[in-house]
Structure 1
């Protein structure tokens, strides 16, 4: 057994709950010196008893759910929590986050993100002080709550490099001359040189595109110098090369400065109550104004007592303009139809099934899936639970209703919350039919529907956050495969049950636009952006981090951000038509960029070194002559490499191989994240 030296220990360090109903788990946080290295460790306390109800501890199952009985008159809470112990060697610790409430989140190099820890006694600063004995810590420039951990020797080398002042500060740049500014400049310089050695083709094209972007879209006045000093040109160039610190070979980085409007602040409302709903009904039960009601549900969701009734409207089981009597008649008719279809598959004999391969395979898959769907929820837990039987029967009946689609893994995840809310077999079936009419493309055999949604997310992120898009492209993650599970089951595995129900009813309203779930995904990525980029996560680490944030998502904050992103896009000019189509926005008139192309065609072949610019903001390339000279001198070798005749053939040979690799990557991500 290794010798151990305990250098730090703090009792009463609690996990923070992921919902209001969930309870915390008490534990001890330690830093231990061992023969093979230093370890940060958190484990549950042996004695969990406490008289303080606010800090009551239950450590038995997995997640917390609130169960509403059929009459909705009594709410039964079942608090539960299972927290794995934490053990991290310091060499594997990439960063940590200290929230405004002084809670601590530890993040590993492989993307593992541990539960937030709160200090009931003592201070997180004491932990940090001991940590500083072994590692160097730097506060993130982009996220004041994030602290980056590095080896002390490497940090000392970076400081020495910064002290050399190889590159001067950018003239007029805020904070020029500060230590963080110098450090980032040196990283850009050495990162660029290192990339040039590894992949001159990609680095050269990327650098020239960055240079073109900076000159073309910043304006002439930003690049006219009072003096033609080469040092200023060098500094300006490398400040325009943001994102090239760790460029991987084979990527061409092209980023254009955005023209989006300012993102507004939005508010959410309280859930729709029974009294609120009555204002939308006439004496016969018709809903008078459907869209205002949907807008109200979008802004606040639905109170649990009202959810069963309104879900039937949102999912098409009830018609909006029907009366009480008409809805009851429709319910009886559809119930009879459901049990007729159910009887069809129940009367299939074993002999028939032996010659009905498709049916047999789907039955087998359903039986496997229902036995592992939400079994930690009180509504489905336990052996011989009749609700699990209902889940099975509804899915089997859907096979008979829509045999072309049949059953695909993931459908049980979409049905389970509907069955829990409606608590009626036939009603759950028809609501599930309505939901499948919305998301059926998620279950295409060739996965074309899912791939299209991932492409749509790509388009939106490219518009809203070019910096993040550039980073993901460099890190081989621009395919957004890590969002696959989010979109497939509409974030069900990322949220607790109560939040899942609220999110789904918000999405079903169709407000404020089609495909709002894509903006929810973009909002989550925006929230995790700094953690991903500052920790320099690659594809595997991003996938691990995305999986680890499940059950820790703030739904209200995410919905606010998603709506704000929509309003930002909707109020912005020059939004690409591909994004407008996805979000249901009207297509725009021919853009100024198209007019500019025509203008460029008119002057094609003429000398451009004496152009004085145009009214639409095009700039004189000659104005940046000093900068061009610097670029040419620094990457001359790479430019000569570009002039070789062998590049085209080599590039063409790589394309099929890249396509095969992308397909394999997609399948691997699907397996790792969902199945």
Structure 2
């Protein structure tokens, strides 16, 4: 039996609820020395939960609605406790976050991100004090709440190297470095990248050496073309060089170095409103029931969403079931017609005999898939939980009727996720069906058999991130994650599995307004990535770790903050010059009137726009001697840097025949990665 020593224990450490449907769960946080290493554990203190339980859901007051309920839609809060024990070997702990409220989030090396823990007694500071006995901790430069964990021996070696001053601090006159400040921090960051390079050299000297030489040779070969541009910002080249060295970020042919910022306007701040109430809505309705000033109404819904008591009525407009300019009488007539049509289609599949179904393979397969999916859709929600729930039967019947309505598309996994909230809000079978038809008309490309619609959206996210956050884009490129497959589930079911029910309903109605652009859901994805960028980059997550981390942040997303950030990104792009027309088209913006003329060096080296700087920045005035010295030093690094990339390109053969040979293999590998992401994230 292993000898164990308890070195830390704290009672009354609560999980923070991720939605209104959850309760905080009290537990004990421990740190235990075992023979094989130190382990951090959190266990629920409730006797109802066993120590080896992987996941327990305790629901004390289930509430079930049926389709007979025709009252206004309301949010249902049900006491529920989600209990997930935590057990982490200290060697697997990559970082942790301490929130402004003193909460603790533990993040593992494989990307696993555990729920936030709140200390109702004691303090997180004592936990950190004990943790420091075993590991070294460093505060992130980019996120003041993030702390990076490393081995003490490795941290000591890094400090010893830093103390040798092999890369001294910048002194003397210099354009951007004089007087310390931001420049000093920039140079200090470059020093840290040098040590990262040295660590890489120790781990894999061959790969690091080849990677480094390629970058130096690239600078020499292209110096005559780009020298006049690059000499103006030689200090940036130094930081840029070591940024690329830290992690074997090889410059492949056509690689776009995207570490320059300043091409976008400043991101504005955005405020949101309270949900639209019934009194607010009545201001847009005339005496006959026609809705006036639809654009203004949509803008109002976009800015604050809809109050739950009004949601059922307005969703019918947003999803096309009711026409904005229809009167009360016209809406009632159309409602009766559509109900009759719905039940006629329902009878069509209801009356298919077993003998017919045996000769109707497509229908039989779709029925089987619907039955499987319906039985696992939102069964923890009070509207669908419990055995023999009539609402689950309604979900099944509506999806089967949609198969008869649109047999070409039929049923694809994920559709039940889109229908369930609509049925919950409308609580009427035929109304839910026609609203679902309206939603499917918006997102049917998500369910293309070849996944072309989804892949196009992922490419659109790629383009937006490339403009909004080139540093993150560079990071994802070199870690084979620029395909954004980890966003697949976000886009497929419109973040429904990432948010609790109340937030899902709020987000969907905001998206259905089409404001401020038709693809606002892509900006929501970009905003979420912007929120998680520092955690991803500081922890050096690769594709698998990013995928795991993205899955783990589900139900812990601040929707209002995300919507503010997404709208701010839209305004930032809309007000910025020189944004590619491809991005403007995705966001419904008009093309630029005077697009920037292509630079001559584009014909020599691909993707060099990011390196072009505005002329006459004035930073060298009055300091020509010091600036010249700095330029000479920076140019030398630039020359050596460029030399290696070109050598590698030369040796690898940057010609069409070799590139063509590699395309098939790369495409095959990309498809495998896509299928892996699909299976891990959604199925």
Partner of 1:658: 666
Report if the CA contact (8 A) 1:188-1:242 is conserved. Answer: no
Tell me, yes or no, if structure 1 residue 627 matches structure 2 residue 634.
Answer: yes
Q: Distance in 1 between matches of 2:6 and 2:317?
A: 61
Partner of 2:607: none
Partner of 1:226: none
Question: Of 629, 642, 651, which aligns to 1:644?
Answer: 651
Partner of 1:244: 245
Partner of 2:260: 257
* Aligned pairs (5 A) from 1:309-320: 309-320=313-324
SS in 1 for 2:106: strand
Question: For structure 2, which runs of at least 5 residues remain unmatched after alignment?
Answer: 50-54, 605-612, 621-627
Partner of 1:413: 417
SS in 2 for 1:242: helix
Tell me, yes or no, if structure 1 residue 372 matches structure 2 residue 388.
Answer: no
Question: Of 537, 558, 582, which aligns to 2:562?
Answer: 558
Report if the CA contact (8 A) 2:301-2:513 is conserved. Answer: yes
Partner of 2:115: 115
* Aligned pairs (5 A) from 1:43-82: 43-46=43-46, 60-61=57-58, 70-72=70-72, 76-82=76-82
**Structure with higher RCO (Cα < 8 A, 6+ apart):** 2
Choose 191-200 or 407-416, whichever is displaced more.
Answer: 191-200
Q: Structure 1, residues 328-352: CA drift from partner, whole Å, max 9, x if none?
A: 1111110000011111111111121
SS in 1 for 2:506: helix
Aligned-pair Cα RMSD in Å: 3.3
Question: Of 448, 451, 472, which aligns to 1:447?
Answer: 451
Q: Structure 1, residues 264-293: CA drift from partner, whole Å, max 9, x if none?
A: 000111110001111110011111110111
User: Per the alignment, do residues 27 and 290 of structure 1 end up closer, same or farther by CA in structure 2, a change over 3 Å counting?
Assistant: same
Report if the CA contact (8 A) 1:25-1:59 is conserved. Answer: no
C-alpha displacement at 1:614, in angstroms? 10
Partner of 2:625: none
C-alpha displacement at 1:646, in angstroms? 5.1
Q: Structure 1, residues 204-245: CA drift from partner, whole Å, max 9, x if none?
A: 66567799899789776544xxxxxxxxx7x95245542431
Q: Distance in 1 between matches of 2:305 and 2:242?
A: 44
* Aligned pairs (5 A) from 1:96-495: 96-170=96-170, 172=177, 174=181, 181=189, 183-187=191-195, 189-190=197-198, 197-198=206-207, 221-223=232-234, 237-247=238-248, 251=252, 252-255=255-258, 257-258=260-261, 259-495=263-499
Question: For structure 1, which runs of at least 5 residues remain unmatched after alignment?
Answer: 50-57, 224-232, 605-612
C-alpha displacement at 1:101, in angstroms? 0.3
Report if the CA contact (8 A) 1:196-1:638 is conserved. Answer: no
Q: Distance in 1 between matches of 2:423 and 2:200?
A: 56
C-alpha displacement at 1:639, in angstroms? 5.2
Partner of 1:227: none
C-alpha displacement at 1:167, in angstroms? 1.6
Choose 256-265 or 498-507, whichever is displaced more.
Answer: 256-265
Q: Distance in 2 between matches of 1:222 and 1:66?
A: 65
Partner of 2:40: 40
Report if the CA contact (8 A) 1:191-1:244 is conserved. Answer: no
Q: Distance in 1 between matches of 2:458 and 2:75?
A: 39
Q: Structure 1, residues 605-643: CA drift from partner, whole Å, max 9, x if none?
A: xxxxxxxx99799999x9955534344457766655544
C-alpha displacement at 1:255, in angstroms? 1.5
Q: Distance in 2 between matches of 1:278 and 1:218?
A: 60
Q: Distance in 1 between matches of 2:538 and 2:288?
A: 59
Q: Structure 1, residues 346-396: CA drift from partner, whole Å, max 9, x if none?
A: 111112111111111111111111011011111111111111111011001
Q: Distance in 1 between matches of 2:34 and 2:456?
A: 50
Choose 6-15 or 341-350, whichever is displaced more.
Answer: 341-350
Tell me, yes or no, if structure 1 residue 92 matches structure 2 residue 98.
Answer: no
Q: Distance in 2 between matches of 1:120 and 1:417?
A: 35
**Equivalent residue pairs, number:** 644
User: Per the alignment, do residues 388 and 73 of structure 1 end up closer, same or farther by CA in structure 2, a change over 3 Å counting?
Assistant: closer
User: Per the alignment, do residues 662 and 199 of structure 1 end up closer, same or farther by CA in structure 2, a change over 3 Å counting?
Assistant: farther
Q: Structure 1, residues 554-576: CA drift from partner, whole Å, max 9, x if none?
A: 00000000000000000111110
SS in 2 for 1:295: helix
SS in 2 for 1:82: strand
Partner of 1:608: none
SS in 2 for 1:523: helix
Report if the CA contact (8 A) 1:315-1:508 is conserved. Answer: yes
Q: Distance in 2 between matches of 1:123 and 1:186?
A: 36
Q: Distance in 1 between matches of 2:457 and 2:464?
A: 11
Q: Distance in 2 between matches of 1:241 and 1:112?
A: 29
Q: Distance in 2 between matches of 1:63 and 1:193?
A: 57
SS in 2 for 1:659: helix
Report if the CA contact (8 A) 1:206-1:254 is conserved. Answer: no
Choose 91-100 or 380-389, whichever is displaced more.
Answer: 380-389
User: Per the alignment, do residues 655 and 418 of structure 1 end up closer, same or farther by CA in structure 2, a change over 3 Å counting?
Assistant: same
SS in 1 for 2:290: coil
Report if the CA contact (8 A) 2:454-2:488 is conserved. Answer: yes
C-alpha displacement at 1:174, in angstroms? 3.1
Q: Distance in 2 between matches of 1:250 and 1:363?
A: 50
Q: Distance in 2 between matches of 1:427 and 1:267?
A: 34
C-alpha displacement at 1:254, in angstroms? 2.1
Q: Structure 1, residues 522-580: CA drift from partner, whole Å, max 9, x if none?
A: 00000000000000000000000000000000000000000000000001111101111
User: Per the alignment, do residues 355 and 200 of structure 1 end up closer, same or farther by CA in structure 2, a change over 3 Å counting?
Assistant: farther
C-alpha displacement at 1:176, in angstroms? 6.1
Q: Distance in 1 between matches of 2:35 and 2:81?
A: 34
SS in 1 for 2:382: coil
Partner of 1:229: none
Q: Distance in 1 between matches of 2:193 and 2:548?
A: 30
C-alpha displacement at 1:655, in angstroms? 2.6
Partner of 1:549: 553
C-alpha displacement at 1:168, in angstroms? 2.6
Q: Distance in 2 between matches of 1:106 and 1:574?
A: 41
Q: Structure 1, residues 100-147: CA drift from partner, whole Å, max 9, x if none?
A: 000000000000000000000111000000000000000000000000
Report if the CA contact (8 A) 1:26-1:48 is conserved. Answer: no
SS in 2 for 1:8: strand
Partner of 2:9: 9
User: Per the alignment, do residues 619 and 458 of structure 1 end up closer, same or farther by CA in structure 2, a change over 3 Å counting?
Assistant: farther
C-alpha displacement at 1:66, in angstroms? 9.1
C-alpha displacement at 1:644, in angstroms? 3.4
User: Per the alignment, do residues 123 and 183 of structure 1 end up closer, same or farther by CA in structure 2, a change over 3 Å counting?
Assistant: farther
Choose 315-324 or 252-261, whichever is displaced more.
Answer: 252-261
Report if the CA contact (8 A) 1:373-1:412 is conserved. Answer: yes
User: Per the alignment, do residues 651 and 420 of structure 1 end up closer, same or farther by CA in structure 2, a change over 3 Å counting?
Assistant: same
User: Per the alignment, do residues 209 and 331 of structure 1 end up closer, same or farther by CA in structure 2, a change over 3 Å counting?
Assistant: farther
